[in-house]
């Protein structure tokens, strides 16, 4: 497939102005062809969503593993947070597909999701965040990443440096706040109530 040439808008306009049954079927057929090259036979929309989610989980896992290599504790969590944002901005379609948690019995999907979860839990575990505290930390981090990515994608193009600065501050606040999760868990453990 030829890469999209942004200087050839007349071609895009021609496709969009064509009767809907022609251009939407062509786009769908092109998408299915591209997906089948990577994922094999894709017959239904749920299969397509699963294939994209699996690719998203695997891509994010690779990016996190690369980012945390050689880092420990809180530095690894910082690196993971930045890798998550970078992946989402660099592969928005895969990121969005992996944001959803569909109810599926697909073993490949469950394996990819499980392997990603193990990597993330390991990074938090090395920083002393485990169990219920880790689950809270993961939810908070996912929300932080998703919120920034959604806002960044919908913002004018001229502000990426501002978002980068804000994200660095947000990650630092998150990392410093992890001690609150550890302290809350410790307080629950020793509390007689």
Domain annotation covers residue 23: no
Domain annotation covers residue 79: yes
Residue ranges in the chain whose pLDDT is less than 70: 1-45, 100-104, 156-161, 183-193
Domain annotation covers residue 33: no
Domain annotation covers residue 25: no
pTM above 0.85, yes or no: no
Helices (H) and strands (E) in the chain, counts: 8, 0
For position 183, what pLDDT does the model report? 66
Domain annotation covers residue 13: no
Q: Cα–Cα distance between 58 and 35 in angstroms, integer?
A: 16
Q: Cα–Cα distance between 15 and 181 in angstroms, integer?
A: 53
For position 109, what pLDDT does the model report? 83
Q: Are 56 and 97 in contact (CB under 8 A)?
A: yes
Tens of pLDDT along 70-123? Answer: 998 999 999 999 999 999 988 888 888 777 665 567 788 889 888 999 999 999
Domain annotation covers residue 15: no
CA 120 to each of CA 64, 123, 169, 183: distance values in angstroms, whole numbers, following the listed order:
8, 5, 21, 21
Domain annotation covers residue 117: yes
Give the domain extent around 170.
40-178
Q: Cα–Cα distance between 145 and 143 in angstroms, integer?
A: 5
For residue 135, which of 150, 121, 149, 148 has the smallest C-alpha distance?
121
Tokens of residue 158, six digits: 């001229």
Q: How many domains does the chain have?
A: 1
Domain annotation covers residue 87: yes
Backbone angles phi, psi at 118, to 5 degrees: -65, -40
Could you tell me the CATH number of the domain that includes residue 94?
Answer: 1.10.357.10
List all residues 6 or more positions away from 160 whose beta carbon is below 8 Å from its beta carbon: 152
């Amino acid at each position: 497939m030829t890469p999209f040439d942004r200087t050839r808008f007349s071609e895009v306009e021609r496709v969009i102005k064509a009767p809907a049954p022609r251009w939407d079927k062509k786009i769908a057929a092109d998408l299915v062809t591209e997906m089948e090259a990577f994922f094999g036979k894709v017959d239904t929309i749920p299969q397509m969503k699963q294939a994209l989610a699996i690719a998203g989980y695997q891509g994010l896992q690779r990016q996190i593993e690369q980012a945390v290599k050689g880092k420990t504790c809180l530095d690894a969590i910082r690196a993971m947070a930045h890798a998550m944002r970078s992946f989402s901005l660099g592969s928005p379609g895969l990121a969005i597909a992996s944001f959803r948690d569909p109810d599926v019995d697909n073993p490949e999907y469950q394996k990819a999701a499980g392997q990603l979860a193990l990597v993330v839990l390991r990074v938090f575990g090395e920083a002393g965040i485990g169990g219920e505290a880790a689950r809270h930390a993961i939810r908070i981090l996912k929300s932080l990443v998703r919120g920034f990515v959604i806002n960044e994608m919908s913002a004018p193009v001229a502000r990426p440096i501002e978002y980068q600065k804000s994200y660095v501050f947000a990650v630092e606040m998150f990392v410093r706040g992890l001690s609150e999760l550890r302290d809350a868990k410790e307080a629950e453990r020793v509390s007689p109530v």
